[in-house]
Amino acid sequence: MHHIYHTNGFILGSRNKGEANKMLTIYTREMGLVRAMVQGIRLGKSKLRFALQDYSYANIDLVRGKDIWRVTSAKNISTFPFARSSKESLLLIARVSSLLERLCDGEESNEKIFDDFIQSLFLIDDINIPDASREAIEIHLILRIMNSLGYIGDTEMLKEYLGGDIGIEKTALLLKERRSIVSHINKALNESQL
């Protein structure tokens, strides 16, 4: 009998496998980055295909197989419909998803990154979000991801952005310091050599 792991996860991406299967890359709160196979998801009768779309957030049940994880069931939490309808928001989600997949290697939990990521997704899933706020949320989120992974050093200017929640209220201040913050992020990305 296999143990079933219940977790909330965000689908960073997927690859088709065989005729009807998919290999999902899932970022979870408890287990970090997990790659899991879903049997028959590409069939029209699959109940999982709507809950496990790329860039969706779901409650997922996983079983550890001999070689890989397998998804046994899933229940949709959010597909972020307004963010999906905005090209800019969808590109933001794709860029951050790609960054997480690149930087978070293996099944290593980082609840802070997960919580910041999901909080940011709910913030940009607002039909009325201004472009400047969307840009500020992306910069803020990436800064916090890089800090949580240990790539950002102690800098007095950045302390304002590393604690508390990610929110719209810091947008104006963050955009004033945008150039300096992006410089810190780019330096950290270069030093990560990933």
Q: Work out the average pLDDT over 65-81.
A: 93
Q: Is 69 exposed, middle or buried (0-12, 13-18, 19+ CB in 10 A)?
A: buried
For residue 122, name the pLDDT band (cuts at 50, 70, 90): very high
Q: Which distant-in-sequence residues (6+ apart) come within 8 Å of 185 by Cβ?
A: 139, 142, 143, 146, 152
Residue 154 is predicted with a pLDDT of 72
For residue 170, name the pLDDT band (cuts at 50, 70, 90): confident
User: Is it the case that residue 155 has pLDDT exceeding 80?
Assistant: no
User: Is it the case that residue 82 has pLDDT exceeding 70?
Assistant: yes
For β-strands 69-78 and 21-28, DSSP reports them as: unpaired
| CATH no., domain 4-78 | 2.40.50.140
Q: Work out the average pLDDT over 106-117.
A: 90
Q: Work out the average pLDDT over 107-120.
A: 92
3-state secondary structure at position 8: strand
For β-strands 32-38 and 69-78, DSSP reports them as: parallel
Of 56-60, 109-113, 160-164, minimum mean pLDDT range: 160-164
Supply the mean pLDDT for the chain: 90
Residue 108 is predicted with a pLDDT of 86
Q: What would the two tokens of residue 126 be?
A: 């607002």
Q: Work out the average pLDDT over 177-184.
A: 89
Q: What is the tens place of the pLDDT at every residue in 10-68?
A: 999 999 998 999 999 999 999 999 999 999 899 888 888 889 999 999 999 999 988 89
Share of the chain above pLDDT 70, in %: 99
Residues 135/96, Cβ–Cβ less than 8 Å: no
Q: What pTM did the predictor assign?
A: 0.91
Residues paired with 22 in a beta bridge = 16, 38
For residue 194, name the pLDDT band (cuts at 50, 70, 90): low
The rounded distance, in Å, linking the Cα atoms of 92 and 26 is: 17
Query: Cα angle vertex 66, ends 110, 149, to 5°?
Result: 15
Domain ranges of the chain: 4-78, 81-192
